[in-house]
Amino acid sequence: RKTRPISCSASPPVTLQHQTTDSPTRIGSLSQVSAVLGCQWGDEGKGKLVDILAKHFDVVARCQILNGSKIIPSSGLSEGGANAGHTIYNSEGKKFALHLVPSGILNEETTCVVGNGVVVHLPGFFKEIDGLESNGVSCKGRILVSDRAHLLFDFHQEVDGLREAELAKSFIGTTKRGIGPCYSSKVNRNGIRVSDLRHMDTFPHKLDLLLSDAASRFKDFKYTPEMLREEIERYKRFAERLEPFICDTVHYMNESILQKKKILVEGGQATMLDIDFGTYPFVTSSSPSAGGICTGLGIAPRALGDIIGVVKAYTTRVGSGPFPTELLDKAGDLLRFSGQEFGTTTGRPRRCGWLDIVALKYVCQINGFSSLNLTKLDVLSDLAEIQLGVSYKHSNGTPINSFPADLHVLEQSKVEYETMPGWQIDISSIRKYSDLPKAARQYVERIEELVGVPIHYIGVGPGRDALIYK
């Protein structure tokens, strides 16, 4: 094959290599490099859209870690939990929980890329591969793990717990999966990358430095020479097993772009949890926004085409942190129960509130979405009236013109609402936009008008088919 100089230009729509004749035109006209990103604080329902789109793409890539997504089902079941990844179902209805492996894995022709922006917990990764292979899904040669990705060790998870205990009342509410501490090692420049597994002569020293660093920082972190020895032996075995998966994914991604392969970037978490743009410090340690696609995969901004933002028709948030449109009354309970807003493993109720247009506009600015997927519109069906949080004011009545960085300002801000009529009929079996009740269409169109981004997909139920293409 001839090699060409890499020059990525804005990706035009190209013919899908896996497109089936019944693919909705909406999907068929997506750009060569498209992405799905969360617009709020996670749990928006990205999994369902990724699941629907993935089979139409040649490559499905992850640019940063997923943090507890709970996917979606052709069967309409919801699944997962605090530590769950995407749960997808094959054509026979068999369930697969994916944490690190991209959702395209069930489609034999799709190549799955775990990009440099992901932190990889190898014991978890192999467990996932074993689960897939024992169910007949072949992974070898189909999953490419970036040689630049950082390794997340078990000790990072222990440190996560120690840090949360230390923060006591002002804890951030992490999932204690070690993600924050691993990204910290990366930024401290003493992290260990996948490519380091190819150098077992220097690996032990690097691991020793990393563990000693944790031991000097946390008095309750017990570090012994035996622990180091065991970990080195374990990682020697992992290194051998990982070798066939290791790839220079930056080169692979850019070559794939030149070869006109269709690439879907599967975002995890959401912009309001972004380390820079989210409600800091109640955020994650990476960039779940559009910028994170380029830094997490090594592709140029000009290569990106469609970026679809996924936004719930209302707002939910897990854990601590400000939430201006939160409902602490019966309306919040109603959203929680109708929307099944509970961590499925923990049963922990999610905080619920009205859709926050100020936050959504801010997120649209940051990501430059080409379209939105409004999910869970069906959950609002019982309400006589629906509120949209359209602007914020300071406590002294002066308007706030942009989404505040200052959490004190955010906490004290007063939200101004627009009241919209409800529709009060079940919309879960509707599949055509024009069949939605007038009030539901008014709600959708008012959101589009306020944020200036078209809504192309509307979720009216958890099942894969419960989607309206607008």
Q: Which residues are catalytic?
A: 43, 86
Does residue 321 interact with ligand GTP by CB under 6 A? no
Which lies closer to ligand GTP via its Cβ, residue 38 or residue 104? Answer: 38
Where does this chain touch ligand GTP (CB under 6 A) — which range of 5-13, 63-71, 92-100, 394-402? 63-71
Query: Is the preceding peptide bond at 281 cis, omega within 30 degrees of 0?
Result: yes
- Work out whether 249 is an interface residue with ligand GTP (CB under 6 A): no
SS3 357: helix
**Smallest gap from residue 432 Cβ to ligand GTP (A):** 16
C-beta of 333: minimal distance to ligand GTP in Å? 16
Residues numbered 78 to 107 that lie near ligand GTP (CB under 6 A) are: 78, 80
Cα 392 to the center of its chain, rounded Å: 27
- C-alpha dihedral sign at 188, 194, 199, 204: positive
Closest residue to ligand GTP, Cβ-based? 459
Tell me if 460 contacts ligand GTP by CB under 6 A.
Answer: yes
Q: Which two tokens stand for residue 211?
A: 């563990």
Q: Is 68 in the site for ligand GTP (CB under 6 A)?
A: yes
- As a whole number of angstroms, the distance between CA 389 and CA 418 comes to 7
The Cα 440–Cα 379 span in angstroms is 11
* Count of residues of this chain found to bind ligand GTP when the rule CB under 6 A is applied: 27
Max CA-CA distance within the chain? 69
Residue 105 CA to residue 193 CA, distance in Å, equals 24
Least separation in angstroms between residue 35's CB and ligand GTP is 14
Determine which residue in the list 110, 265, 461, 464 makes contact with ligand GTP, applying CB under 6 A. 461
Give the pair of three-digit tokens for residue 103.
Answer: 């959702």
User: At 167, is the secondary structure helix, strand, or coil?
Assistant: helix
Q: At what angle do helices 225-242 and 122-133 cross, to 10 degrees?
A: 40
- CA-to-CA distance for 308 and 445, rounded, in angstroms? 17
List the beta strands (DSSP E) in 157-216: none
303 scored as a contact of ligand GTP (CB under 6 A)? no
Is 462 one of the binding residues for ligand GTP (CB under 6 A)?
A: yes
Listed ranges 39-47, 94-102, 149-157, 359-367: which one lies at the site for ligand GTP (CB under 6 A): 39-47
- The secondary structure of residue 349, as a DSSP letter, is B
Is 274 a binder of ligand GTP (CB under 6 A)?
no
Residue 268 near ligand GTP by CB under 6 A: yes
**390 vs 71, 170, 367, 451, 455, CA distance in Å?**
30, 30, 20, 10, 18
* Shortest Cβ 71–ligand GTP spacing (Å): 5
Q: How far apart are CA 248 and CA 229, in angstroms?
A: 29
- Positive or negative, the CA dihedral 297, 301, 307, 310 is positive
User: Interacting stretch for ligand GTP, rule CB under 6 A, among 19-27, 52-60, 300-308, 453-461?
Assistant: 453-461
- Residue 45 as a binder of ligand GTP (CB under 6 A): the answer is yes
Q: Which of 103, 284, 286, 375 binds ligand GTP (CB under 6 A)?
A: 375
Pick from 65, 311, 327, 379 the residue near ligand GTP by CB under 6 A.
379
Query: Where on the chain is the footprint of ligand GTP (CB under 6 A)?
Result: 38, 42-48, 66, 68-72, 78, 80, 268-269, 375-376, 378-379, 459-462, 466
